[in-house]
Structure formats: C-alpha cells, structure tokens
Amino acid sequence: MNNIYKLVKFDYILIKEYLKTAIYLLLIALMLTASSKSLIGGLVTAITIVSLRLTSLPFETEEKNTIEQFYGFIPVSKKQRVTGRFASIIALGIISLMVSIILQIITLTVIGVDIKFQELMIGVFISSVIYIINISLQIPAYYKYGAIKGRIISFIPLIGFSLFYFIFNKLDNYLINISKIFINSNMYFNLITIITSVFSIVIIIISLKVSNIIYDRKE
C-alpha cells in the first residue's frame, strides 16, 4: 500500500504543472452549465471532458519525458505501477467532481436557478459511472497503444457523451421526476447506490486486470 501511495504521489508530481488544463475544461463546462441551466448536464459535461484529459495526461507526460526507463530503478512491481496509475486517475476524478459540484452550484445559484437535491444526486451518480467507464476504456488502451495512438479510444466516450446529451435534453424533467421516486425512498436509494457501486467496482477490476496483462507483456 505504501508503494501505491508513492506511485500516486509520483504521478501527481509528474503532471501537476499540466493540471491547469483540467481547470480550463471545468470552466468551459461551467459556461455550458450557465447556458443550459442544468446541473446534471453540467456535471456530465465536466466529468466527460475532464476524464479524457486526466486519463491521457500521465501517459503523455511519461512518454514525453521518457520516464518509463526510470521505473526500473524503483522497487515496485509492474502490477503496482498499474494499480498506482488507476489510483491516481481515480483520485483526480473524485477531486474534479467535487470541485465541479461546488463551482456549478455557485454558478447556478448566482444566476437564480433553483437546485433540487434530486438533481444533484442523479448528476453525481451519472457522472461517477461515466467517469469510471471512460477511464476503464482508456487506461488499457493507453497501455496497449501508447499516448498517441491510444487517443483514438477517446472518441468512444465522446460519442457516448453526445448520445447521452441528446437523450438528456429530451428527458431532463423526466429523469428528475424519476429520481425523486428513488431518492425519496430509502429502499430504492440504497438499491441504486449498491448497484452503482458494484457496477463501478466490477468495471474497474476488469479494466485493471486487462491493463495488468497488457503491461506485463510489454518489453
């Protein structure tokens, strides 16, 4: 566990000077939120575009600075390196989501939009699942194809996001009304929480195992 923490810290040091890009992306999503006046749409937009950048950034920086060769001098296994990469990207995603929630709530409050608890919860649920799916698709691709060729996989989340946004614009109020039923009922709320958590964990485990297999076969 100590090695994983060191690898997460190493990833942060590696990309910290480039993190301003993620801030710019959050601000772009913030403008879209102010325009659409939708917290759900804003959170999904923010987490989708940020996930694309945060996932690629460590791999791009690693290749650019030829960091890979230095791993041979660090007493960690390949499996730990992969786990550390997953942990750092997940941690960055959690921080980004929290920052995005705060900024978007402030923005919508300032422009006079009434924020419903149900809307916030469904936005967090959807955004979290989307982030997990996005990084689970991208990380193995970057290990397999590298930072440049792996970017092609980024089109898959973008296509999924475009499809979601189209559906969301048609079903915005319907989703909020449906979410009230689940959130106002402890049984349904707990059920959705468990299902979402299990789904996210399973997806991450599968992606982690695939990434380990790919990375172990390299070199």
Rounded (5°) CA angle 30-60-4: 90
The full DSSP string for 157-217 is HHHHHHHHHHHHHHHHHHHHHHHHHHHHSHHHHHHHHHHHHHHHHHHHHHHHHHHHHHHHH
| Confidence at residue 206, expressed as pLDDT on a 0 to 100 scale | 95
pLDDT (0 to 100) of residue 130: 85
Q: Which residues of the chain have pLDDT under 50?
A: none
How much is the pLDDT for 216?
Answer: 85
pLDDT of residue 62: 80
* Per-domain boundaries in the chain: 2-217
Gap between the Cα atoms of 43 and 33, Å rounded: 8
Q: Write down the pLDDT at residue 176.
A: 55
pLDDT on residue 209: 94
For residue 47, what pLDDT is reported? 85
